[in-house]
């Protein structure tokens, strides 16, 4: 069966442009309109009546749900937001950003008011209360993150379990046998946030699999808290020579904190971070990239496909990519 996506690919335009030609919702240049209609004729596309009605009622707005909760590192999240907005404009869509932590009721209210054609959901918890209404709503949705029960949903995420494991494998490959993990603020784990729990689980499983000693602790986002967490790690493992950091806000304090405790990077402790490349490059830290721009772009593309009636894969997992820099050296 020929879909809108097939027509869009044949005509060299976005799926939303095909919808606009079919519905007349927005003005399209005569040349583009002619090209789309010729592709429709050649491919023999016959739009479903229900799909035409839905497209005709579209507001061309997607809601980005990003509750500003404690422990959310806004600079890192804004990279995803910027990517979402940029990608949405390429599909002729505007973005409504919902920052209030309104849970399930907030989603239902926006859906009932038909103020958004679809939803992009961030800061996903393993047992997220927003999942049931997302399954029930007529508007499609895409989650940037994964709940524990993802059946019936479309999700895109970094493979955080693999990211935690990749950090361990890198350190083991350099000869480190005692490693620590400095994680997100404690409130993030208390909320059972997916990316944090999965990264720590991947780290722990890889350490156990490789038979090395490991300790994992959360860290708050101020110097004294980071220093206290590092001191606790070294107390638990005096022989610790490798450290994985999954906390962008704490990165600026880690090297200074280790130095205050008599440990130099990388001579005494090798450091590997999970963070955006820019953060790691500034501090010359070995890192697994947090692909914020790609996550935002992929999420918009998946939602645009669903709005165009094109089936989307249930789960898109991005493989972790590690870049070696000056902060990790062989033992």
Residue 151 vs residues 52, 132, 148, 227, 313: alpha-carbon distances, Å: 28, 11, 9, 41, 12
Is the predicted pLDDT of residue 273 greater than 90, yes or no? yes
Using alpha carbons only, give the angle 261, 267, 269 rounded to the nearest 5 degrees.
55
- The ranges of the chain annotated as CATH 3.40.50.2300 are 61-158+292-318, 160-290
**Domain range 61-158+292-318, CATH class:** alpha beta
**CA distance from start to end of the chain:** 59
Distinct helix (H) and strand (E) counts, the chain: 14, 12
User: Binning pLDDT at 50, 70 and 90, where does residue 194 land?
Assistant: very high
Nearest to 66 by CA among 33, 16, 101: 101
Cis bond before residue 266 (omega within 30° of 0): yes
Report the DSSP pairing between strands 286-289 and 322-323: antiparallel
Measured distance CA(183)–CA(75) in Å, rounded: 17
What share of the chain in percent tops pLDDT 90? 64
> Mean pLDDT throughout 64-71?
89
Distances (CA, A) of 305 to 58, 120, 299: 14, 13, 10
Q: Please check the confidence at residue 197 and state whether its pLDDT lies above 60.
A: yes
- How is residue 170 annotated by DSSP? H
- CATH superfamily of this structure's domain 160-290: Response regulator (3.40.50.2300)
For residue 20, count other CB atoms closer than 10 A to its CB: 22
Name the average pLDDT for the chain. 89
- Position 50 scores a pLDDT of 41
pLDDT of residue 25: 57
Cite the residue boundaries of each domain of the chain with CATH code 1.10.260.40: 4-56
70-78: list long-range contacts, CB under 8 Å, 24+ apart.
70/185, 70/187, 71/184, 71/185, 71/186, 71/187, 71/188, 71/191, 71/193, 72/123, 72/188, 73/221, 73/247, 73/248, 73/249, 75/248, 76/248, 76/275, 76/276, 76/290, 76/292, 77/122, 77/123
More confident residue, 178 or 4: 178
Model confidence, pTM: 0.82
> Which helix (H) or strand (E) segment is 111 a member of?
helix 103-112
Of 25-34, 136-145, 244-253, 274-283, give the lowest mean pLDDT range: 25-34
According to the model, what pLDDT value does residue 21 have? Answer: 76
Query: Phi, psi at residue 111, to the nearest 5°?
Result: -65, -40
Q: With cut-offs at 50, 70 and 90, classify the pLDDT of residue 2.
A: low
pLDDT in tens, 3-51: 677 888 899 988 778 777 776 656 778 888 888 888 888 887 765 444 4
- The pair of structure tokens assigned to 85 is 């907005």
Q: Which fold is adopted by the domain 4-56?
A: 434 Repressor (Amino-terminal Domain) (1.10.260)
pLDDT of residue 49: 42
H or E stretch covering 96:
strand 94-98
Tell me the mean pLDDT in the region 287-311: 93
- Residues 227-243 have a mean pLDDT of 97
**Does the pLDDT of residue 188 top 50, yes or no?**
yes
Inter-CA distances, 116 with 95, 109, 123, 179, Å: 9, 11, 19, 46
Task: Check residues 49 and 122 and name the one with the higher pLDDT.
Answer: 122
């Amino acid at each position: 069966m020929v879909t809108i996506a097939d027509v869009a690919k044949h005509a060299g335009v976005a799926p939303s442009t095909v919808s606009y030609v079919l519905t007349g919702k927005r003005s399209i240049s005569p040349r583009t309109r002619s090209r789309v209609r010729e592709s429709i004729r050649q491919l023999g596309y016959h739009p479903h009546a229900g799909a035409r009605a839905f497209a005709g009622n579209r507001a061309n707005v997607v809601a980005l749900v990003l509750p500003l909760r404690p422990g959310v590192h806004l600079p890192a999240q804004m990279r995803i937001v910027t990517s979402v907005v940029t990608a949405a404009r390429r599909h002729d869509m505007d973005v409504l950003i919902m920052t209030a932590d309104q849970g399930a009721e907030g989603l239902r209210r926006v859906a009932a008011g038909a103020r958004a054609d679809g939803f992009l959901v961030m800061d996903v918890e393993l047992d997220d209360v927003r999942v049931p209404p997302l399954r029930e709503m007529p508007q499609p949705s895409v989650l940037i993150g994964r709940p524990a029960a993802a059946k019936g949903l479309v999700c895109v995420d970094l493979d955080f379990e693999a990211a935690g494991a990749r950090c361990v494998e890198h350190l083991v490959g350099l000869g480190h046998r005692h490693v620590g993990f400095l994680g997100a603020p404690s409130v993030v784990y208390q909320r059972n946030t997916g990316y944090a729990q999965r990264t720590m689980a991947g780290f722990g499983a890889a350490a156990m699999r490789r038979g090395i000693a490991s300790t994992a602790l959360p860290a708050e986002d101020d110097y004294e808290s980071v220093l206290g967490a590092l001191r606790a790690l070294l107390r638990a493992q005096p022989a610790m020579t490798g450290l994985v950091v999954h906390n962008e806000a704490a990165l600026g304090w880690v090297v200074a904190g280790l130095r205050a405790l008599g440990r130099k990077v990388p001579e005494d402790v090798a450091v590997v971070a999970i963070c955006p490349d820019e953060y790691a490059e500034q501090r010359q830290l070995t890192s697994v990239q947090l692909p914020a721009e790609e996550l935002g772009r992929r999420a918009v593309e998946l939602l645009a496909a669903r709005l165009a009636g094109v089936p989307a894969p249930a789960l898109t997992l991005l493989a972790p990519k590690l870049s070696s820099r000056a902060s990790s050296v062989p033992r």
